[in-house]
């Protein structure tokens, strides 16, 4: 065994094999894979191994397309051909119009990745899958490239190629300890000796947390038992001139594919079961869980009704094995939070289909720092401290029970709630607040007209439309109050703090005490990494000069890693998270100054506290820090309050607001207003796939500044000119917003992709942001939006059409 390697990948299932192979493809050959038993002896060996192209966003569709192309290439290799049924096709069934709407949206989104799904009716489903009944069926989504692959051969083929490129593989070699040296390198201690390496990768499937524990981390991954049956031969299949396509059924929760001359049917029963929560038997290798047919009888009934031939077909064998889930159903592929030089590729629940793509994106992240797609939807740092085993298992059960039921817009499912609350949550619930979940936090979406109000789940505008319109109107005309909990807040101190931040931001950081500035952080490739406000809080009896770095709620672990990993060894900078200690009460509207003046002694006049100021004060008797910043486009104040005095500050503001028509408002109103104002949202409009000029952030970049992260890469990019540009669109349609990912077309050509869409209630326009080909980005340009399958005219308009002179913010 080698004593040193650049990367050690732990785990020889599809995740590890794909990562190893792709590292060699990215040019790193000094890489090693260590497997405790044989390759594929975890979950991979018994996988149903369906390979599908369907995904809920463009990153997932793109990585699955990579898997399909790679597997096809491997299967065609004359030296080591593998069994891959490529292109059997697959149908995702639907029996409600709302499910069909969703499929139309996902088809529009996939078009942007050059993937062509088809929406078909029930008769066409039957024509393509002759074994089904069309009872209670509206139609479905046709995925032409669906198929299945031999998982063992696939892994062998990847390893074969990786070895040829210089990689080494050690099987029957359990990793038993991990130690990190001070310089960030790792020592991987195995039963057969030690290997030192620069980077370690956890690809340990259901044993993820055994290895996690060795490096002192807990990964939010839980395993579920999952069963499929293999049937006896079916005459109609034997006789058929082509293979049966795959089926996915959100009505009765099963999937099905052809296996030899029979069927393989897998079940997602409601009465499902977690696995291995109290530890895993070390001898569970190449093993299965005991069969449990009784558990799936409910689902079986649905499958029988859809495929009557099953009633007279015997079961040949049953497979029941552990399958891993995370909190939101997507895996964790990327840097391990809080660790240097450590990555994971875990929580894969469809790892055979996705594994090729995930290994590809992970290898790019390891070698280049970032992948070709924005990988936030699979980033291990998207969950923060609330993501413990108990919460993960509750979400895993919920997700398993809804396996093929995609989330509708604004759908927040109940399991594991409330995870993060403030002292106001119950108070606001009593005011009929509807809550959305943002990184575990319960945030007010809007105030319901009654406790019984339940809007329908839909891709169209729903019954909340007028409610949100009224909240916006009150902010525009009077004043509104909104709790923003969980907003990410770091306190940065130390003599080198500003020099450090100047290196991190692509524009000089405003150092003036009492002032606030917005800025952007780029990655090494010159792409948009993060957005943050910097508030300079002067020394007071509450502390020394401090910098507050504020960014999106979900960015806490992401931004903390990015910042701390860039502090030079000789720099004196301290970063402390205040995210869980402070909550913002957002006061917005023309009368917000009056409300603030009525409950706080300071002079809030625009001369003494102009836009982009910060000051410490009291709201009633609660210590608070106030910033004059606005995401709504109205005169507004962010009031940051320590959580222990949040309720007291809230009561003071409510009382002061009585004379000014103050009402509560929520996230949905904020979304509408920020889009009217041209403000962007992290990981919706601000993506690592685009540089700041493409994103329209020109005024936030100072290229003649000494140096900043991403500068040289950005300068190189500039020479090539922008590929696409972020634009604002008005949409000629009043029944539905543009949904993220939807495609913009000119003729048959995709020219852009929607990033955000919402009705602008002050301007009465259906608004969207989109990245479009740069030659289409001029104001006035027209194109078509594929909105839920309809072609809708759209026009590029000026960014931030509401109050473009900023007279309302500056009032
Ligand atoms: C019944 C069933 C049907 C499925 N059907 C499909 C399907 O149709 N399509 C699809 O895409 N997915 C399917 N899946 C899911 C898919 O099989 C998994 O997502 C995938 O196999 C996970 O691969 P992995 O590499 O992450 O984990 P594993 O295959 O479990 O590999 C992890 C490896 O790490 C090794 N390891 C663990 N600890 C150590 C250690 N300390 N030292 C060294 N090595 C270690 C293990 O021995 C193991 O080989 C199915 C799963 C099940 C259970």
Concatenating the DSSP letter of every residue in 724-743 gives: EEEEEEEES-SS-PPPTTPE
Distance from Cα 49 to the centre of ligand 1, integer Å: 11
Specify whether the CB–CB gap between 220 and 383 falls below 8 A.
Answer: yes
Q: Put residue 792 in one of left, alpha, beta given phi > 0 → left and psi -120 to 50 → alpha.
A: beta
Structure tokens, 741: 């990912």
State which ligand 1 atom lies nearest to the alpha carbon of 352.
11
Q: Report the mean per-residue pLDDT for the chain.
A: 97
Q: Hey, what's the torsion of the CAs at 63, 67, 73, 77, to 10 degrees? A: 140
Specify whether the CB–CB gap between 675 and 767 falls below 8 A.
Answer: yes
Mutate to test the pocket of ligand 1, among 352, 378, 380 (most ligand atoms within 8 A of CB): 352
Mutate to test the pocket of ligand 1, among 10, 14, 32, 42 (most ligand atoms within 8 A of CB): 42
pTM: 0.97
Extract the runs of DSSP E, i.e. beta strands, from 439-507: 441-447, 480-484, 488-493
Give the three-class secondary structure for 785.
strand
Handedness of CA 450, 454, 456, 458 (dihedral sign): positive
Q: How many CA atoms lie within 13 A of 204 on its CB side?
A: 25
3-state helix, strand and coil shares in percent for the chain, rounded to the nearest 5: 30, 30, 40
What gap in Å lies between CA 533 and CA 509, rounded to an integer? 10
pLDDT of 565-614, one tens digit each? 999 999 999 999 999 999 999 999 999 999 999 999 999 999 999 999 99
H or E element: which one contains 196? strand 193-202
State which ligand 1 atom lies nearest to the alpha carbon of 354.
11
Specify whether the CB–CB gap between 10 and 177 falls below 8 A.
Answer: no
Structure tokens, 472: 């916006």
The protein residue with its alpha carbon nearest to ligand 1, atom 31, reads: 13
Nearest to 616 by CA among 544, 551, 556: 544
Nearest 5 degrees, angle CA 581-CA 583-CA 589?
A: 165
pLDDT at 75 (0 to 100) = 97
State which ligand 1 atom lies nearest to the alpha carbon of 353.
11
What gap in Å lies between CA 675 and CA 633, rounded to an integer? 10
Distance from Cα 43 to the centre of ligand 1, integer Å: 3
Grade residue 482 by pLDDT with cuts at 50, 70 and 90: very high
Angle at which helices 58-75 and 351-368 cross, to 10°: 100
pLDDT of 733-751, one tens digit each? 999 999 999 999 999 999 9
Residue 612 has phi, psi (to 5 degrees) of 70, 35
Q: Hey, what's the torsion of the CAs at 462, 465, 466, 472, to 10 degrees? A: 160
Q: What is the CA radius of gyration of the chain?
A: 27
Nearest to 34 by CA among 166, 222, 191, 217: 191
Distance from Cα 4 to the centre of ligand 1, integer Å: 27
State which ligand 1 atom lies nearest to the alpha carbon of 348.
19
Alpha-helix residue ranges (DSSP H) falling in 296-386: 297-306, 351-368
**CB under 8 Å to 49, separation ≥6 — which residues?**
148, 149, 150, 151, 154, 352
CA 460 to chain centre: 22
What gap in Å lies between CA 112 and CA 786, rounded to an integer? 11
The protein residue with its alpha carbon nearest to ligand 1, atom 26, reads: 205
State which ligand 1 atom lies nearest to the alpha carbon of 322.
53
What gap in Å lies between CA 159 and CA 100, rounded to an integer? 41
Q: Put residue 566 in one of left, alpha, beta given phi > 0 → left and psi -120 to 50 → alpha.
A: alpha
Give the three-class secondary structure for 240.
coil
State which ligand 1 atom lies nearest to the alpha carbon of 190.
42
Buried b (16+ CB within 10 A) or exposed e, 677-698: bbbbbbbbbbbbbbbbbbbbbe
Residue 71 has phi, psi (to 5 degrees) of -65, -35
What gap in Å lies between CA 754 and CA 685, rounded to an integer? 9
pLDDT of 44-91, one tens digit each? 999 999 999 999 999 999 999 999 999 999 999 999 999 999 999 999
Distance from Cα 347 to the centre of ligand 1, integer Å: 9
Residue 80 has phi, psi (to 5 degrees) of -150, 70
Nearest to 227 by CA among 348, 93, 324, 323: 323
**CB under 8 Å to 300, separation ≥6 — which residues?**
254, 267
What gap in Å lies between CA 454 and CA 800, rounded to an integer? 32
Residue 539: how many other CB atoms lie within 10 Å: 10
The burial class, CB within 10 Å (0-12 / 13-18 / 19+), for 27 is exposed
Distance from Cα 607 to the centre of ligand 1, integer Å: 63
Distance from Cα 773 to the centre of ligand 1, integer Å: 40
Angle at which helices 592-599 and 646-657 cross, to 10°: 120
Distance from Cα 42 to the centre of ligand 1, integer Å: 5
Structure tokens, 524: 């090494």
What gap in Å lies between CA 169 and CA 587, rounded to an integer? 59
The protein residue with its alpha carbon nearest to ligand 1, atom 13, reads: 350
Distance from Cα 760 to the centre of ligand 1, integer Å: 46
Distance from Cα 176 to the centre of ligand 1, integer Å: 19
List ligand 1's pocket residues with C-beta within 6 A: 10-16, 34-37, 41-44, 46-50, 174-175, 203-207, 210-211, 226, 228, 266, 319, 321-323, 348-353
The burial class, CB within 10 Å (0-12 / 13-18 / 19+), for 159 is buried
pLDDT of 219-241, one tens digit each? 999 999 999 999 999 999 999 99
**CB under 8 Å to 566, separation ≥6 — which residues?**
500, 503, 504, 709
DSSP classification of residue 52: -
Specify whether the CB–CB gap between 238 and 131 falls below 8 A.
Answer: no
The protein residue with its alpha carbon nearest to ligand 1, atom 20, reads: 351
**CB under 8 Å to 10, separation ≥6 — which residues?**
16, 33, 34, 175, 188, 200, 201, 202, 203, 204, 211
Distance from Cα 303 to the centre of ligand 1, integer Å: 26
What gap in Å lies between CA 21 and CA 25, rounded to an integer? 6
Q: How many CA atoms lie within 13 A of 646 on its CB side?
A: 24
Pairing assessment for the beta strands 516-522 and 528-537 based on DSSP bridges:
antiparallel
What gap in Å lies between CA 40 and CA 385, rounded to an integer? 32
Specify whether the CB–CB gap between 536 and 509 falls below 8 A.
Answer: no
Distance from Cα 350 to the centre of ligand 1, integer Å: 9
Instruction: Tell me the DSSP string of 259-298.
Output: ETTEEEEEE--SS--EESTT---TT-SS--PPP-GGGGHH
Structure tokens, 725: 């540009």
pLDDT of 617-646, one tens digit each? 999 999 999 999 999 999 999 999 999 999
State which ligand 1 atom lies nearest to the alpha carbon of 16.
25
Residue 4 has phi, psi (to 5 degrees) of -150, 140
Whole-Å CA distances, 80 to 75, 76, 229? 8, 8, 29
Say whether pLDDT at 100 is over 90: yes
Alpha-helix residue ranges (DSSP H) falling in 658-727: 667-677, 711-720
Grade residue 706 by pLDDT with cuts at 50, 70 and 90: confident
Mutate to test the pocket of ligand 1, among 12, 255, 266, 351 (most ligand atoms within 8 A of CB): 351
Pairing assessment for the beta strands 31-34 and 50-51 based on DSSP bridges:
unpaired
pLDDT of 164-197, one tens digit each? 999 999 999 999 999 999 999 999 999 999 999 9
What gap in Å lies between CA 531 and CA 537, rounded to an integer? 19
**CB under 8 Å to 2, separation ≥6 — which residues?**
32, 168, 195
Mutate to test the pocket of ligand 1, among 38, 44, 170, 174 (most ligand atoms within 8 A of CB): 44
**CB under 8 Å to 86, separation ≥6 — which residues?**
51, 68, 71, 72, 75, 145, 147
């Amino acid at each position: 065994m080698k004593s040193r390697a650049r990367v050690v990948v732990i785990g020889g299932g599809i995740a590890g094999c794909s990562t190893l192979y792709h590292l060699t493809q990215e040019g790193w050959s000094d890489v090693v894979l260590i497997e405790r038993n044989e390759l594929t002896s975890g979950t991979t060996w018994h996988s149903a191994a369906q390979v599908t192209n369907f995904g809920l966003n463009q990153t997932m569709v793109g990585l699955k397309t990579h898997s399909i192309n790679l597997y096809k290439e491997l299967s065609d290799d004359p030296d080591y051909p593998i069994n891959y049924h490529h292109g059997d096709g697959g149908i995702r069934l639907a029996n409600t119009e709302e499910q069909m709407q969703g499929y139309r949206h996902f088809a529009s989104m996939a078009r942007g990745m050059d993937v062509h799904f088809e929406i078909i009716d029930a008769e066409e489903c039957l024509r393509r899958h002759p074994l089904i009944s069309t009872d209670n069926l509206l139609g479905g989504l046709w995925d032409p490239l669906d198929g299945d692959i031999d998982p063992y051969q696939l892994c062998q083929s990847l390893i074969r190629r990786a070895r040829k490129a210089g990689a080494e593989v050690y099987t029957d070699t359990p990793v038993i300890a991990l130690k990190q040296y001070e310089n960030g390198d790792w020592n991987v201690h195995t039963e057969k000796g030690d290997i030192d390496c620069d980077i370690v990768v956890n690809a340990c499937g259901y044993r993820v947390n055994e290895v996690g524990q060795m490096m002192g981390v807990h990964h939010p991954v839980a395993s579920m038992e999952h069963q499929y049956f293999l049937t006896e031969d079916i005459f109609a299949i034997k006789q058929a001139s082509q293979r049966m396509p795959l089926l996915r059924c959100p009505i009765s929760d099963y999937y099905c594919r052809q296996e030899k001359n029979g069927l393989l049917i897998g079940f997602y029963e409601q009465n499902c079961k977690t696995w291995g929560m109290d530890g895993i038997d070390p001898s569970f290798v190449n093993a299965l869980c005991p069969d449990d047919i009784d558990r799936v009888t409910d689902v079986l009934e649905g499958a029988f009704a859809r495929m009557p031939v099953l009633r007279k077909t015997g079961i040949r064998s049953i497979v029941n094995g552990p399958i891993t889930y995370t909190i939101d159903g997507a895996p964790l592929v990327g840097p391990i939070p809080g660790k240097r030089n450590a990555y994971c590729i875990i929580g894969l629940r469809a790892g055979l289909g996705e594994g090729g793509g995930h290994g590809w994106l992970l290898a790019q992240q390891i070698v280049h720092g970032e992948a070709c797609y924005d990988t936030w939807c699979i980033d291990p740092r998207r969950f923060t401290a609330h993501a413990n085993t108990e919460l993960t298992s509750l979400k895993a059960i919920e997700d398993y029970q809804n396996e093929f039921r995609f989330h509708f817009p604004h759908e927040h499912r109940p399991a594991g709630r409330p995870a993060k609350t403030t002292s106001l949550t119950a108070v606001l619930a009593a005011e009929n607040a509807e809550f959305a979940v943002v990184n575990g936090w319960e945030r007010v979406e809007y105030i319901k007209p009654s406790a019984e109000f339940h809007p329908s789940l839909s891709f169209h505008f729903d019954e909340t439309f007028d409610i949100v319109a009224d909240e916006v109107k009150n902010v525009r005309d009077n004043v509104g109050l909104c709790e923003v909990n969980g907003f990410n807040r770091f306190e940065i101190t130390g003599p080198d703090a500003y020099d450090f931040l100047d290196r991190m931001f692509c524009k000089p950081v405003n150092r003036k005490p009492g002032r606030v500035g917005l800025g952007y952080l780029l990655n090494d490739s010159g792409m948009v990494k993060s957005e943050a406000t910097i508030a300079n809080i002067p020394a007071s009896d509450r502390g020394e000069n401090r910098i507050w770095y504020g960014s999106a709620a979900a960015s806490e672990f992401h931004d903390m890693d990015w910042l701390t990993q860039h502090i030079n060894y000789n720099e004196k900078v301290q970063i402390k998270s205040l995210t869980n200690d402070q909550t913002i009460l957002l006061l917005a509207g023309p009368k917000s100054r009056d409300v603030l003046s009525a409950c706080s002694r300071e002079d809030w006049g625009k001369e003494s506290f102009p836009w982009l100021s910060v000051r410490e004060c009291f709201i009633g008797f609660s210590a608070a820090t106030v910033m004059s910043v606005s995401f709504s486009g109205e005169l507004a104040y962010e009031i940051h309050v320590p959580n222990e005095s949040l309720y007291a500050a809230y009561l003071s503001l409510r009382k002061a607001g009585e004379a000014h028509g103050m009402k509560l408002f929520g996230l949905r109103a904020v979304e509408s207003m920020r889009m009217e104002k041209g403000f962007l949202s992290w990981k919706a409009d601000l993506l690592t796939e685009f540089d700041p000029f493409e994103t329209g952030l020109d005024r936030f970049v100072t290229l003649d500044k000494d140096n900043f992260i991403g500068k040289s890469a950005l300068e190189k990019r500039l020479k090539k000119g922008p590929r696409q540009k972020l634009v604002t669109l008005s949409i000629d349609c009043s029944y539905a917003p543009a949904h993220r990912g939807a495609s913009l077309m000119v003729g048959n050509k995709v020219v852009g992709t929607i990033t955000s869409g919402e009705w602008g209630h002050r301007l009465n326009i259906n608004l969207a942001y989109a990245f479009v080909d740069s030659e289409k980005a001029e104001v006035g340009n027209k194109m078509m939006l594929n909105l839920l399958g309809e072609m809708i005219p759209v026009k590029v308009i000026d960014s931030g059409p509401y109050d473009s002179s900023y007279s309302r913010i500056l009032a």
